[in-house]
Amino acid sequence: MVILVTGATGFTGKRLALNLAEEGHHIRALARATSQVDDLKRAGIDIVIGDITKRDDVFRAVQGVERIYHVAALYRQTNVPDHAFGEVHVKGTENICEAALRFDVKKVVHTSTIGVHGHVENPPGDEDSPFNPGDLYQQTKLEGELLALRYAKEKRLPLTVVRPAGIYGPGETRMLKLFRAVKQRRFVMIGSGEVFCHFVYIDDLIQGFKAAADSPTAIGRSYIIAGDEYVTLNQFVALIAEAFGVSKPRLRVPYAPVYMAGAICELLCKPIGIEPPLHRRRVAFFDKARAFRNDRARQELGYRPQVDFRTGVRRTAEWYLQQQLL
């Protein structure tokens, strides 16, 4: 099968593209000229140089493919203008959907996020829980998802939405600072630590992607792809400490003053184009409950997570050590 993976130079997209290539599919990746693509080329993946926000580039990448995994995203950062999030998450999604219609693509899997639900008032939530995005990233991801679903409903585009939980595993470095702080006994809990967090191991997420793509009954549906377990932040950092063989963190500070400090840092740093040392969105991680059921994916897609959370945390910690990142 000829398959296009957008976002294939990022952690999730690359792991998905390499996995599909190993299965014998002919994989195509849309990547910017400045992206690092050596790993993809070595795996025999074709690189189409282009930008997800540019219609002609997307059409050129989509022509001749049978399936699309749309993973490309602009992750939270302050060194890009606000409008860039909408361009990638909304305009980029529109480009993919229009190209898929033009070239009669057989299936599109669109990547959203559990972040579209924001803080879950009565956890665990599910796919029908209220939308409550808490920042620009989540808001534009929601707009992109709703746009994709309109294409499925109104234009009969064979499309399924996947909402991953927090993605982790060997190769992912967005949790590196947290793991390092726990290992070095410098971690300080912000707030009570009793809010829930929910993650999905990268290999399980890839299984969920492929199950969504293969299901003929999933068109027009959204699926939360998450591990079977959700934990409190206190439990999470305790598992990290266990993986490193150190005592679990006990220091904590009140939430409100730290959040206010994050706001001040952003106010001072953003106008001069430097990365703030503290972000409100990072502080909000310690106050927003995210816990979900994955029943719909289990029942309709046959999704079965294989890696329990303790094992996944241990494997991630071991990878950080092997790579000498700590």
Alpha carbon of 72 to those of 31, 52, 60, 110, 134: distances in Å?
A: 10, 8, 16, 9, 20
Residue range 88-104: average pLDDT?
A: 98
What distance lies between CA 306 and its chain's CA centroid? 19
Alpha carbon of 288 to those of 196, 259, 284, 291: distances in Å?
A: 8, 13, 6, 10
The C-alpha atoms of residue 138 and residue 105 are separated, in whole angstroms, by 27
Helices (H) and strands (E) in the chain, counts: 13, 12
The C-alpha atoms of residue 245 and residue 320 are separated, in whole angstroms, by 14
Determine whether domain 2-171+199-228+291-306 maps to CATH 3.40.50.1820: no
pLDDT over 60 (residue 78): no
Counting every residue, how long is the chain?
326
Domain ranges, ordered by start, for the chain: 2-171+199-228+291-306
The C-alpha atoms of residue 147 and residue 153 are separated, in whole angstroms, by 10
One-character DSSP codes across 141-161 = HHHHHHHHHHHHHHS---EEE
The C-alpha atoms of residue 203 and residue 308 are separated, in whole angstroms, by 11
pLDDT over 60 (residue 29): yes
Supply the pLDDT for residue 48.
Answer: 96
Residue range 294-318: average pLDDT?
A: 98
Residue range 261-270: average pLDDT?
A: 86
Burial of 150 from C-beta contacts in 10 A (0-12 / 13-18 / 19+): middle
Predicted TM-score (pTM) above 0.85:
yes
Digit-coded pLDDT (tens) for 147-168: 999 999 999 999 999 999 999 9
H-assigned helices in 158-254: 176-183, 202-214, 233-244
Supply the pLDDT for residue 42.
Answer: 95
Lowest mean pLDDT among 85-99, 105-119, 250-264, 307-321: 250-264
* Residues facing 28 on adjacent strands: 4, 46
pLDDT over 60 (residue 261): yes
At 93 the three-state DSSP class reads helix
Cβ–Cβ < 8 Å for 294, 208 = no
In which band, very low, low, confident or very high, does the pLDDT at 75 lie, cut at 50, 70 and 90?
confident
Name 277's Cβ contacts closer than 8 Å, sequence gap at least 6.
265, 269
Q: Which residue's structure tokens are 């979900």?
A: 292
Name the average pLDDT for the chain: 94
The C-alpha atoms of residue 62 and residue 68 are separated, in whole angstroms, by 8
Dmax (CA) for the chain in angstroms is 57
